[in-house]
Structure 1
């Protein structure tokens, strides 16, 4: 048992002062120091420096660790150009990211205060790195393949990877399933995977409506994807449409990434099924896609959270940077309220979407906590300043264990 005493605690709903936290793997009690020391007399006391802020560890719900070798391999500014560049450089990217490369990406997230992440794994090359990560991990085994003739082989490979992830026994590692996207996964495969997901109550995610190319292809088998599918896959028509794809997830809460091209009917379906939208602003900008209409989500009470995506469409894995970019992209949103929503989108709301007992400084929650060194006394606009000034993260606790910094 330990007791930690910061100057300030962001829960993230409320800013507390003159309070300390007693914790082991979980937060046991939040109260004044004297009260905690009486109740836990054997606990070690950690007194933090002046202007220290303790807040929940950040949660990155969508990241591709396997593609972390990218620096300047890929083409930005247009989704199809980027996709062709991924295909052209795929072998170099995959072969160029060994275990140390993936470890470096995971350590980058730790340094940036990310205590939990959702790894979208296409090949299971990142399984060892994620199994050894200090963070809590939701390991999304990704299913991809739009050709019916390949369905059995692709599903066998998917099952093999899913089974391998289930052998990882460490605490706070959670096998899960990712359906790549409606345009890239045949309905046969989607239905077979969802049977497993629902029977085993696994977390589920999918890319959805990321680009205009996807919108046109799913709606009318036309647009920029037409040449791509015809030449590379000998496929003249989309295997599904957006409405059918969403119908597969009926009654099962799913994390849908990007969703920048969703229409009104799809938003109603997402609302009804209590799906969560993952907002990746930097990735959307670099790939030439739209900005997510967060006002439309808020108007329908659709939960949205924030993630970095992978280094194939980002330049760092830093949720503070991601939130800051989003703050400026959504220029019509009320500044303070939106900053507060962004912080919830990487803490309490992200934890709830991933099914993690984290994201909040509250009794009974995992002791996933980060310590920021503020410059001076915080004011009512703390949420804005946290995004603008990128304060030093001096300590990171995960499940009560100090994983970054010193005592």
Structure 2
């Protein structure tokens, strides 16, 4: 059994070189085989369960905390308080691009088995680590070394392919919705980190304090213009963590139902991508029949059992679908249905398909004179029934909960949807 040498060093001050080091653990570097993982946290105190998940990905190696202010608050927490053995934890407080590209800092990034970005100011991270050797080293860590990475607050804000840079300060939901081209809405991307499953995605944090749904909806509207296509968003309430596995499933940690702690996965509707009115100094209108943005809302639990699948942006477990829309700067969020993109470009009428009784109780009868594939989903996106019908089919629904369901009818590669209600 390896004997670990515990060393607590005074901070190494290197003001002239743009960084300060705080070190805990074994000063002799070890090389382990880490495994992929991305952890996004909402900005308040860390989720111990999510941090444990992330530390385990390091496989006993060296942990590097990057920050642009503060000191060594993570060191003992990550090294000894979570019960996961690691070789060392080092915090580097980087205060300039010179610090980020210092040979010592680059060496620490290259040899880390886990990298964590603390909260602070995301514009500092972008100013110090982007378009230089540090950016290359960070992307190598994720995509070549296949090692875990994560961040909270500002540290989460920089992990999407696109980001709100905060170059001109923060922006509220009210300000963003009132003027989507306000000078403090500074969006960049496709020029920094390349994190798997977060392509065409912009993140947001502190989602419940203050409410940031409106501003991220505006970010997505702007992003559709930048990309000229659909855009995506990932967001977390303050005490929520989102942990992405190698298969793309994003598991959500929190303390629901004791607290209202949720993660949100946003995407532009497949059928109508672009806002109806997005001009400078004018309130945003992005309605598209009340379904401009499709959102999967997931409660975070201590076990992290609920998830959304970022490999397809369609399926999940333990969440509910919502439709978000904006009219004249006012955001509306209402219950919605699962997103359907693969067959959304071509539809057909379903006049020859009859569904009764409506509302229904213990059974449904579906009649059609065409051979159709029929699927029924609940509001959480779970498939309740699937069948092929040519004349008539009867579905037992005694065990289904009361509420709204979505019927998808496919015929010759075309699709139509119908809403039905169970008493």
TM-score normalized with structure 2 length: 0.31
Q: Could you state the TM-score of these two structures normalised by the residue count of structure 1?
A: 0.32
Larger radius of gyration, structure 1 or 2? 2
Q: Which has the higher contact order (CA 8 A, sep 6+)?
A: 1
Larger helix proportion of the pair:
1
